[in-house]
Structure 1
Amino acid sequence: MNADLSSPATHDAADAAQALLSVRDVTLAFGPKVIQHDISFDVKRGSIFAVMGGSGCGKSTLLKSMIGLLRPTKGEYLVGTDNYWAGTDEDRVRIGRRFGVLFQSGALWSSMTVGENVALPMQMFTTLKPHVIRQLVELKLGLVGMLHAIDQYPSELSGGMKKRAGLARAMSLDPDILFFDEPSAGLDPITSARLDELILNLRDGLGATIVLVSHELSSLFAIADDGIFLDPESKTAIAHGSPTWLRDHCENPMVHAFMHRERTDSSSHGDR
């Protein structure tokens, strides 16, 4: 299947110059099984970049690789001018501290309070004094509307509250890039819309750069301004552009079916 033309937000040399994260010719495979190949894109500073596609296309695998949990079979990830996999383990730890990750379930430690969860990265990676960490924890929780839950445990929180607490923890070290894995998964429409609004506020208020994996069209149309579409058949990116542009202008049948919620043969695959 041929790749579709990109949207007017063309991925050219000018985009590369503005890129905070650049993915270059990446191939992901488990032994002989190729998940995706020859993936390239740039994430510009301050953008909300979506990795889109149906079940089984490799969205989550690509996200795991971008945050350093899976070494690519081929290709490279550039964070600014740093090549993530080209350096030492110490280099990767240093670069990784520029990332914040919101996992699909929130991934909070159940034996810790919300405040303790948010404080943990600061305790591990900084020399800040406890009272300063407490102040920063209150600040991060205040940004996501969760200060009232600072002393509660994850078991006492709703799904949406867990996502917000997880987001506060992802922001604890003031990362350059926030990675979200299906942020709206499992949320009702109203809670999902509130989370979308929060993500936009973080982008606009803090200048955050966000990469998200999602198949929730309402969220994609509401917040993402750029992205790629992964195809499980050709195992590569077949379209670049914002979700809205892809919905309105992309003529690729696979992309059109996804953006308009039409059933395709690949819909029966399990996601990776």
Structure 2
Amino acid sequence: METVLSVEDLTLAFGPKVIQQDITFDVRRGSIFAVMGGSGCGKSTLLKSMIGLLRPKTGRYTVDGEDYWAGSDAHRTDLNHRFGVLFQSGALWSSMTVGENVALPMQMFTELDTDAIRRLVELKLGFVGMLPAMDLYPSEISGGMRKRAGLARALALDPDILFFDEPSAGLDPITSARLDDLILNLRDGLGATIVIVSHELSSLFRIADSGIFLDAKTKKPIAHGSPVDLRDHCEDPQVHAFMNRTRDEEEKSP
């Protein structure tokens, strides 16, 4: 598979404080790439940089060979229209219904009329099994439903690259498994390329093709490979301990 996202020698920092450095990896088209590591290692910070919310201190990040940070703001905006993002909490507007949340990107970035937008909203919500909740507010639905509604909004502009920040966090095992199925359907049915930040081992083992393991102490990546390969073959003691946690240990992990 060809490379769609490429990160090369990236350093992430807030002022003088370095979060991670020497980050290098490629994400293949149509794959599910996992960003793994313990609490405070910079997983979500890396994701924020990849979606344009944090300029790296040094390094290069390309999308289909185009340097993301070297171009103009307008160029980055064009690239961002290829992205769909599911934030950890779902990040729905509480004053808007589920349907209105999904419609918002279409209203902002397309010239579609009201009827066309409504049909597309119904289509996106139907895909994630949320059409019956179209006229409900976020406060009226469960956490798992909010995640699926957030996913429908992430799909609003038909992106080919999706970024998920801890999509299974706080969900029960059955709801989490259903969300995993949705993610696999996005890859297999729509051909989407997916970058996922997660510490949920069952989900990682089931859906991720490859990944990177970030270390909070050295502030560098210490392993590359699929979650299953890291679990079974990585000799680094920290990676081995993380990837072989018991269910009880996993539930205590942030």
- Is TM > 0.5 for Structure 1 vs Structure 2? yes
Q: Distance in 2 between matches of 1:88 and 1:70?
A: 15
Within 5 Å, which residues of 2 pair with 1:155-166? 155-166=139-150
Give the superposition deviation at 1:81: 2.1
Q: SS state of the match for residue 30, structure 2?
A: coil
Give the superposition deviation at 1:261: 1.7
Matched residue count: 249
2:38 aligned residue: 54
2:60 aligned residue: 76
CA root-mean-square deviation: 1.4
Match of 1:217 among 201, 206, 211: 201
Match of 1:109 among 75, 82, 93: 93
Q: Distance in 1 between matches of 2:220 and 2:159?
A: 29
For 1:182, the aligned partner's letter is E
Give the superposition deviation at 1:175: 0.8
**Unmatched 5+ residue regions in structure 1?**
1-14, 263-267
Q: Deviations over 1:231-255 (max 9, x none)?
A: 1111111111100011011111111
- Confirm or deny that 1:33 pairs with 2:44: no
For 1:194, the aligned partner's letter is R
TM-score (norm 2): 0.95
Within 5 Å, which residues of 2 pair with 1:1-272? 18-261=2-245
Give the superposition deviation at 1:53: 0.3
Q: SS state of the match for residue 202, structure 1?
A: helix
Identical columns (%): 77
Give the superposition deviation at 1:209: 0.8
Work out whether residues 160 and 191 of structure 2, in 8 Å CA contact, stay in contact via their aligned partners in 1.
no
Q: Distance in 1 between matches of 2:10 and 2:147?
A: 30
For 1:164, the aligned partner's letter is R
1:10 aligned residue: none
For 1:167, the aligned partner's letter is L
Higher RCO (CA-CA < 8 Å; seq separation 6+): 1
For 1:203, the aligned partner's letter is R
TM-score (norm 1): 0.89
For 1:85, the aligned partner's letter is W
Deviation above 2 Å: which 4+ runs of structure 1? none
